[in-house]
Structure 1
Amino acid sequence: MTNSNNGVNVLVTGGSGFIAVHCIIKLLEQGYKVRATLRSLNRQNEVKDMLKKGGISLFENLSFIEADLSKDENWDKAVQGCSYVLHVASPTPIVNYKHEDEMINPAKDGVLRVLRAARAAGVKRVVLTSAYGAVGMGNTNRTTPYTEKDWSNLKGNLHPYQKSKTIAEKAAWEFIHNEGGGLELSTVNPVAVMGPVLGTDYSHSNQVVRRMLEGEIKACPKVYCCYVDVRDVADLHLLAMTHPKANGERFLATTGNALSMLDIAQILKKNLGEVAAKVPTKEMPNWIVRIAAKFNPSLRMLATLLGKYAETSGDKAKQLLNWSPRSNEDAIMATADSMLQLGLIKK
């Protein structure tokens, strides 16, 4: 434990989320005092159970406060006395949305609510959990890896969830530039997040592994994606929080090499043997996915990604912050192994 961090308060928003819980683990291990927001304090014990599975046994440096990104109440109390804020909370993709604003407005308004409260409380730096969805979506004819200099094309073919991440991050940078009043900002933009699942609240990226192991996916859509381990995402949040060179910077959290969904299936087959008996071995033609997406709202976002170039570069975080992520295979297998251990895979 790093004693120099004793008494340094950090607010983590959305404390029950997959990335947030891993951030809390890293912070507590390094001696920080953590205050976590929850929309309902009824989830305190659930979060503590996940933290215990992640190796935390003492909770004297952890407290909770009820706060909702869609309301002003309690945000002034939440940030009071905090040196840093990890703004991890974000609305998850809505399957049956009627209008894209159902995702865009809560994401944008929530970011600005947290930034205003942080500025008023004299917080030193906010780290915003953005996404690859704000970097590499809606573009065509791409042939070189996406970097932090890239932004998603809001006029292109992208899902409202990806649009919401882009608009929310742009709003954050605009706020800092125009009315930040000395408040510092860094963003972490993770690609698809895998890694150890600690409870039933985990990232939608992990659902792919669960659905493959349960035999729900009969053939793999031709979708390419980069992956990253949630533990490495948490490490990058802490580096972005304290490193002098991180102020005013975006960081892609990525191992850098894209995998197809069939690649994931083959990793599971290779490592799990008979346990992966239901994992698919073939790819599905794009036209089938596109037709299915017209009738199944849960496939809409997937359909916008078919055949798209998805290579990314994690060089900036590695070179500037000395960040060192695990491999794709390690991250994917950590997801599978933890789900099996927790009994989350239906036989």
Structure 2
Amino acid sequence: MKKKKILISMISLIVVCFLLSVFVLELNKTKNESVRVVSNISDAQIVVQSVDTAVEQEEQIAEETKIDKPVAEAIKERVREVIEGALDFFIKDKKIVSIGDSLTQGVGDETDSGGYVGILNHTFEDNHVNITIENFGKRGNRSDQLLKRLEQEEIASAISEADIVMITIGANDIMKVVRSNYTNLNMEPFQKERIQYLERLTAIFNKINDLNPDTQIYLIGFYNPFERYFGDIEQLELILDNWNNAGKAVTEEFDNIYYIPTKDLFSNSAIDLLADDNFHPNTDGYKRIAERVLEYLNEFSVENELPIEDIE
């Protein structure tokens, strides 16, 4: 019982620390308000200082070993290699629509490339591949908010003409539970919210299919942003796994919807893949997501027996 209380206390500390950055970045709280929250939780200060120290050490290592060419150019070159190995996907003009939260918007990408969507878009352009991507990512979006946004004429029209729709959604649904229960975290509220999330996710898929029954839909899964510093807390890992597995199960109920995992891309990484907020991916993190998306787009194109031709 004592061990359980300690775990719950540790999780609460983690959440408080994360909420500090979320309140600053997502909700535009004032600096004074954030300071007051921290001053009331001395243990949280210790955790934040430990994380800051670790981040500084990682940045120093990265600075000592960085390559000469700009990060953005190195990323484009790597993704270009993936494109060259996926010729069958790029045999014809395609239109892609990306919708969802801050991961679609590209928050955390220090090169301002637009996150994984921007990296893909720029690489297509550099390789003269006639694929257009419209980005409707919106920071802070939850599944209920995305469902309402699908009613907007601009988004509905874009989806109705899209060959592919890519989605990142659900992280803010999880954080909604965190914000409401951070003083007494346990599994129950996450389980309840997951059921509602799956209902809304199904509604999102149905709405997209109503707008365009011929499109392919890809749901991009969650990664664990807490692994580096709090990987020993099993509850966090279990929550993310449960939500990932549930989302994947929903996609399997549809013939034209596929699940793209990302958790393994960020697990046990030798380099830092998160932005300064220790939550969103940095450019390297988004690069890995872009590569994974390309791999899955190509894989499912092969399954659909698209003819293979050379790109001029």
TM-score by length of 1: 0.32
Higher relative contact order (CA 8 A, sep 6+): 2
TM-score by length of 2: 0.35
More strand by share: 1
